[in-house]
Amino acid sequence: MSFKRFAWISLILLVTASLVLTGCRAATETPTEPAVAPTEKPAATEAPPPTEVPAEPKSITITFFEEPDNLNQYYSSMWFSSLAQSFLNVGFWVFDDKQELVPEMAAEIPTVANGGISADGTVLTIKMREDALWSDGTPVTAHDYVFTYDMIMNEGNAVQTRFPWDTYVESITALDDHTVQIVMTEPYAAWAPSFRWHFLPKHILESVFEAEGTLDNADWNRNPTVVNGPFLLKEWQAASHLIFEANDNYWRGRPTLDEIYIRIVPDDEAQMAALQAGDTDLGVYMTAANQPDIDAIPDVELVTAPVGWVESWFFNLVSEELAAETGIEPGHPALQDKMVRRAIVMGVDRQQIIDELFYGQYRIPAVFWWDSPFEDTSIQPWPYDPAQAEALLDEAGWVDSNEDGTRDKDGVELVIRYSTTAGNEYREATQVVVQQMLSEIGVGIEILNYSYDVIWNGFGDDGPIATGKYDIAEWSTYSWDYPDPNTGDWLCDEIPSIDNPAGGNWQGVCIEELDALFAQQAVTVDMTARIELFKQIEAIMHDEMFWMGVRTDPDFWAVNTRVKNLVFGGVDSFWNAYEWDVSD
């Protein structure tokens, strides 16, 4: 379970001075004989060619409100670090803006058809580019990747994670200088995002590891002098800035930009001031709430990029019987009926919420994996239809028998506990609007919020959501290995209990057909076949309505229009930095 941080940044653009070269005519040799008066007019002397003024270096400036902690991907889980790292190093492939794979060190994306994936899905054979070089001119080879794997798995290195290598990988070997073979213990459908991480230069770091028994303290982690990405680290001044310069040895050729500046700044006010002054080109971690301010700045636009996040409703489906088995509090009995859940969804005008609270910047997602290759675009969100919602509630037996304005059944009032993160003004504003909307169809809402330091606690720590102290919970979540879909939160054996306190299925969802499909997709490495399985999964989820998409939750960036060819990716934000450009 995750949530987004919102913070703000600013930066000051450095202006590089151009050097104007001037030329001089050569001196005339001294004559050895007296000069003779000319008898005819001498030919006109040609003017020297105009001196060329070298072009000013092309550069852009980006603001960070947190300084990277490391530039070695295996030692940091920090978002700002991952952005900076992406200028320096690349792996086999990256994901583009459509979440499709683009080869980097790989010559081609492995498939069953090209022999890159074995028929049983347990062996990946990756053919590498033969023209890829490290920035010092050394070839990038399969031996670098094997070394990288060895460093990940070596207990002497305190890397941020060993997953999935420690779980799914049996061996990684170099079949030759430019062919890597990954043998897995079982078919692993999420191989593409998991094995895209960058290479470590064996010829630089092997001696460091042999001398120290670890890479934890290697200078290369903060000062990677040899890289295989489009840019080199030119300078890092702590708490101030990082400067990257074009890598002439990048396999695609020298990037269009000469330099990229990252400025470390304190807050959103400073960032907004820099945007207004034209002193920064790219502002990060913006939100829809910044739209009015950005609209007032000439030549700056608010740009979105889907990143796998979705603002969601999660219904508590724990029944009295399941509560007795697990120790989780049951949800409202009305929520056991999917038609009641559907009625509640149809009683909420999500588009109005998006338009009035978020400047129309979001859309209503019909499926959980709305911005990935697994989205079934034929499925449409349940519409806002209060009349149909009332009809569904009537049919389910929830009527206002005592005429107090709230529906009831068998003496139980239809009052739903609606929980989210306390102090989040936009979620709390959403709650107030929803409360009013649902009151119009006879559904009561009790707002019951929890602080950030409490709401995410697990079952063993008496977390309010994990232990069922809610009926509808709202937060923004995502697939942790995006764009690969996360399904673990709805598996039957992930329902938490005294015997399984780490279980992540806090909703108590257990649908046998869904469980079987989740298990099948996890071992289906053929993308086309896997997408078809997700169409079945999404159809069931849409019908059962134990999850509702409140709104999409993309990243927002402020971009000066002088920056050209910048296409944000959802997984790899700066995937095409090599072709970024600026206009005059």
Q: Is the pLDDT of residue 39 over 50?
A: no
What's the pLDDT at 268? 86
Higher-pLDDT residue of 49 and 251 is: 251
**Cα–Cα distance for residue pair 24/3, rounded to 1 Å:** 65
Q: Express each pLDDT in 214-232 by its tens digit.
A: 999 999 999 999 999 999 9
Structure tokens at 448: 């019951």
CATH code for 1-15+54-88+229-307+554-584?
3.40.190.10
Q: Are 58 and 257 in contact (CB under 8 A)?
A: yes
φ/ψ of 434, rounded to 5, equals -65, -40
320-345 mean pLDDT: 98
Q: How confident is the model at residue 178 (pLDDT cuts 50, 70, 90)?
A: very high
CA trace torsion 265, 270, 276, 280 (10° rounding): 0
User: Among 343-352, 366-375, 436-445, which is the least confidently predicted range?
Assistant: 366-375
123-132 mean pLDDT: 98
> Is domain 90-204 annotated with CATH 3.90.1150.10?
no
For helices 527-544 and 512-522, angle between their N-to-C axes, nearest 10 degrees: 160
Q: How confident is the model at residue 46 (pLDDT cuts 50, 70, 90)?
A: low
In the chain, what percentage of residues exceed pLDDT 70? 91
Q: Is the pLDDT of residue 37 over 90?
A: no
548-569 mean pLDDT: 97
Q: How confident is the model at residue 53 (pLDDT cuts 50, 70, 90)?
A: low
Q: Is the pLDDT of residue 387 over 50?
A: yes
CA trace torsion 546, 550, 553, 559 (10° rounding): 160
The reported pTM is 0.84
What's the pLDDT at 29? 32
Examine domains 90-204 and 309-553 and report if their fold is the same: no
**Cα–Cα distance for residue pair 378/457, rounded to 1 Å:** 37
320-344 mean pLDDT: 98
The C-alpha angle 478, 553, 526, rounded to 5 degrees, equals: 45
What's the pLDDT at 488? 85
H-type helices in 443-500, by residue range?
452-455
* Span 309-553 CATH architecture: Roll (3.10)
* Average pLDDT over all residues of the chain: 91
Q: Is the pLDDT of residue 260 over 70?
A: yes
User: Among 8-17, 41-50, 155-164, 518-527, which is the least confidently predicted range?
Assistant: 8-17
What's the pLDDT at 297? 96
Per-domain boundaries in the chain: 1-15+54-88+229-307+554-584, 90-204, 309-553
What's the pLDDT at 162? 96
Q: Is the pLDDT of residue 9 over 80?
A: no
Q: Is the pLDDT of residue 204 over 60?
A: yes
490-497 mean pLDDT: 96
Q: How confident is the model at residue 114 (pLDDT cuts 50, 70, 90)?
A: very high
The per-residue b/e assignment along 416-450, b for 16 or more CB within 10 angstroms, e otherwise, is bbbbbbeebebbeebbebbbebbeebbbbbeebbb
Q: How confident is the model at residue 52 (pLDDT cuts 50, 70, 90)?
A: low
What's the pLDDT at 259? 98
What's the pLDDT at 25? 29
Higher-pLDDT residue of 65 and 88 is: 88
364-369 mean pLDDT: 97
For tokens 């040609």, the residue is 46
H or E segment at 181? strand 179-184
**Cα–Cα distance for residue pair 301/313, rounded to 1 Å:** 30
388-404 mean pLDDT: 98
Neighbours of 217 (CB within 10 A): 9
Amino acid letter for position 71: L
